[in-house]
Amino acid sequence: MSIPAVPTVGPNPFTTATAPDGRTVYGPLDAARVPRYAEPSTFARLPRLDQVGDADITVVGVPFDTGVSYRPGARFGPAHIRTASKLLRPYNQATGMFPFHSQQVADAGDIAVNPFDIVEALDTVTASATALAEHGSRLLTLGGDHTIALPLLRALNRIHGPVAVLHFDAHLDTWDTYFGAPYTHGTPFRRAAEEGLLDAERCQHVGIRGPLYGRQDLEDDAVAGFQIVRSDDYQFDGIASVVDRVRRRLDGGPVYVSVDIDCLDPAHAPGTGTPEAGGMTSRELLNTIRGLAGLDIVGVDIVEVAPAYDHAELTGIAAAHVGYELLSVMAPA
């Protein structure tokens, strides 16, 4: 992959490193030269995609929340996560990784989607994600509500075929319809299963909790191919046990990781549309993600961040660190 020089006026303000394959890659702005609270408004202050030409991982926003069933506002999530990510630093002390040094990560901005037509919006996301990924770049997508997972999986299917889904969420998101509507933030994985996008032997929920409509919800979910790690399992079994269960379920093929920020307890992520009491801590989520190292992760998303309900950027900061840990486990060893 050819990486051209970042066009700048004067000295290059971005950090640089030599990747394992000998390429020069451009990382975040040098915080010793440009304060963290200054521009640009990209994830982790990384270069834009048009500045580097190609990227191993492309960060892209989907400011869409027409599929929500309760509190709206996730359309403002991508900007909120990017703002909170300004504090991220290059070295991940927990994993010993420099996630921006061993791979080129760049921010492609947002996909502009129709807020009044869900079907058209989903088609736009599929087309845009396909265009970004078809030359080998993996995507870190910032939502937006969880409806966007369906078109992202459609795009990945064109490249990888059926994939396993690791789904962090308080909710199953395998319901059939809401008010007769098939495309909502509570239905993406039901539709994905019906469309043959999932490897039904390798899908996993993590963080499920709260009331359901009935036992049929769980039966339908099992038919879609998911096993469940409940939020309470973190307390009773511990993180190591959860990670072991997840790895055994996912190993053996491509994996898509979808993180609904409401998998966290509202104490850790109040800024979301459908909060549920009894969730995991941010530390539990980050440590679970670190346990995914070595899996074949082909794409990830972070969704349902609704900044209007956030307090002191708690949710945005949690989401930014989730993105950072995902980038770390996707980096070459």
Residues 92-146: tens digit of each pLDDT:
999 999 999 999 999 999 999 999 999 999 999 999 999 999 889 999 999 999 9
pTM to 2 decimal places? 0.95
- Strand partners for 259: 168, 302
Give CA angle at 102 (101, 103), nearest 5°. 95
Tell me the fold of 14-330.
Answer: Arginase; Chain A (3.40.800)
pLDDT at 2: 46
Residues 170-198: tens digit of each pLDDT:
999 999 999 999 999 999 999 999 999 99
pLDDT > 50? residue 1: no
Burial of 165 (0-12, 13-18, 19+ CB in 10 A): buried
Domain ranges (residues) in the chain = 14-330
CA-based nearest residue to 231, from 277, 280, 275: 280
Are the C-beta atoms of 124 and 113 separated by less than 8 Å? yes
Report d(CA 293, CA 288) in Å as an integer.
10
